[in-house]
Every structure is written in structure tokens, then in C-alpha cells.
């Protein structure tokens, strides 16, 4: 963030960079908390996808911040224009699209793990596992949809039709790029919503287990009478 704030670029690209920075920060939290919540009730050994995808998500999560680094003027060159800075920021949407595609792949494995766990769990946990499995299936579909949406945004921002092209009635890519701040804030809002849902799921799991413990009573310690 310090690199963005201290850059001598115009206000427009700087505001867009800060909005996308917030989205990147929300993504880091979401993709750390999500797998932790999903793994609470899974008792099976992790698959290769379970081991590899969190590492890839970590790399892509930090890559989101790297893409936001402002373009710098080389020696004896003029500073990059606002248009060039806006165009540079469009790569953030491509990195984010790849990241959410990896999230969807991770959730494919999570759904399979939950299904396998159901057959090995006591009857009193079946309702909770079914509830969790349904949430993860919806999250898998949502992650794939998010990836496709971000990819479409990237294509529109990067290679969108120009006003002078065959589809001159459509807004040009340069005009769309000026809306990246609004897109970043909308994305950040969606991350806040996802993190809230994750915490609600965690609370539901804890409440369910606590209720069962309360009904069954605490285990007696060895040697108690």
C-alpha cells in the first residue's frame, strides 16, 4: 500500500489501485479461512489437490498485490500516463480469475472428501455434514462463476472494442478502465460477505457439536465413581 500511496501517479489510477488492494486483502483472508472451516469435519487424509492448491492460492494471493505496483518511469523517460497505469491494473482481474479457478478446484476435492466422510461418521453428525456439503457445493459453483466473471472483465478492460471499431456503439476499453475503482470496491464487498458466511458456518458447526456434548454429557474421567 505504501508503494501505491507514494507513487507520483494521478488520483484516478491511485484510487483504483487502493480499491483493488482492499479486494486483494479480502481475498487473502477469505482463502485462508475457507479451507480451515471446510476441513473441520473432514477426517480423511488430504489428497494431492488438498496439499497443492493452498500453496498455489498463497502465491496467487500475493501476486494480486504485485500486479498493483504502479508503473515507474525509466531514466530519461517521461512518467507513465494515467491511461498506461489504468491499463496495467487490468492484469489484476486475470490473476484473480486464475485464483478463483484454483479455489473451485480445491472445492471439488473438498466436496469429495465430505461425501467420503459421511460414510465414516456417526449418525448424529450426518445432518451437519449434509448441511456443510451443500454449502461447499454452492461455494464451488460460486467460485467458478466468480472466475468466469473476472475473466470476462479482464477481456472487456484489456481488449474491449474501441469506439472507432465495428462495434462503435459500445464503450471503449479505455472508458471501462476508469471504472476499476468501483469494480474493486464491489469485489471487496463480496469478500466481506464471504468471510461473514464462513464465520457463520464456523459458529454453526461449533454450536452443533456443543449441543450434542450438552445432551450426551461430559465424558467421565478414568477412575471416577
**pLDDT (tens digit per residue) in 34-50:** 888 877 777 778 889 98
Please state, rounded to an integer, the average pLDDT across all residues of the chain.
Answer: 80
- Residue pair 195/29 in contact by the 8 Å Cβ criterion: yes
- Using the predicted structure, report yes or no on whether residue 224 has a pLDDT greater than 70: no
190/198: higher pLDDT: 190
Band (pLDDT 50/70/90 cuts) for residue 141 is very high
- The pLDDT value given to residue 221: 40
120/141: higher pLDDT: 141
Q: What number of CA atoms fall less than 13 Å from residue 182's CA on the CB side?
A: 5
CA neighbor of 206 nearest in space, from 94, 80, 74, 40: 40
Q: Which whole number is the average pLDDT over 130-139?
A: 85
Q: Which whole number is the average pLDDT over 83-89?
A: 87
Handedness of CA 119, 110, 127, 32 (dihedral sign): positive
List of residues 6+ apart from 72 with CB closer than 8 A = 7, 80
- The pLDDT value given to residue 80: 76
pTM above 0.75, yes or no: yes
Burial class of residue 85 (count of CB atoms within 10 Å of its CB; 0-12, 13-18, 19+): buried
**DSSP H stretches of helix in 119-170:** 126-159
- The pLDDT value given to residue 3: 67
CA neighbor of 69 nearest in space, from 18, 11, 22: 18
- Take residue 154 and report the three cell numbers written for it: 479482464
For 64, other C-beta atoms within 10 Å of its C-beta total 21
For 19, other C-beta atoms within 10 Å of its C-beta total 21
- Residue pair 31/57 in contact by the 8 Å Cβ criterion: yes
- Take residue 14 and report the three cell numbers written for it: 491511485
Band (pLDDT 50/70/90 cuts) for residue 73 is low
Give domain limits for the chain.
Answer: 2-70+82-162+170-208
- Using the predicted structure, report yes or no on whether residue 59 has a pLDDT greater than 80: yes
Amino acid at each position: 500500500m505504501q508503494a501505491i500511496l507514494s507513487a507520483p501517479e494521478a488520483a484516478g489510477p491511485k484510487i483504483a489501485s487502493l480499491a483493488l488492494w482492499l479486494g486483494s486483502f479480502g481475498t487473502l483472508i477469505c482463502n485462508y479461512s475457507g479451507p480451515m472451516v471446510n476441513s473441520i469435519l473432514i477426517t480423511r487424509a488430504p489428497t494431492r489437490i488438498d496439499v497443492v492448491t493452498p500453496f498455489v492460492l498463497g502465491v496467487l494471493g500475493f501476486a494480486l498485490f504485485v500486479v498493483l505496483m504502479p508503473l515507474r518511469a525509466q531514466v530519461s523517460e517521461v512518467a507513465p500516463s494515467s491511461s498506461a497505469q489504468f491499463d496495467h491494473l487490468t492484469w489484476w482481474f486475470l490473476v484473480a480469475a486464475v485464483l478463483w479457478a484454483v479455489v473451485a478446484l480445491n472445492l471439488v476435492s473438498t466436496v469429495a472428501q465430505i461425501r467420503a466422510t459421511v460414510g465414516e461418521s456417526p449418525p448424529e453428525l450426518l445432518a451437519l455434514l449434509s448441511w456443510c456439503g451443500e454449502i461447499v457445493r454452492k461455494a464451488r459453483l460460486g467460485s467458478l462463476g466468480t472466475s468466469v466473471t473476472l475473466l470476462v472483465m479482464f477481456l472487456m478492460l484489456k481488449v474491449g472494442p474501441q469506439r472507432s471499431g465495428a462495434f462503435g456503439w459500445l464503450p471503449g476499453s479505455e472508458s471501462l478502465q476508469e471504472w476499476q475503482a468501483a469494480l474493486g470496491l464491489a469485489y471487496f464487498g463480496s469478500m466481506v460477505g464471504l468471510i461473514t458466511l464462513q464465520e457463520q458456518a464456523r459458529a454453526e458447526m461449533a454450536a452443533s457439536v456443543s449441543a450434542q456434548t450438552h445432551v450426551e454429557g461430559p465424558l467421565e474421567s478414568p477412575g471416577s465413581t
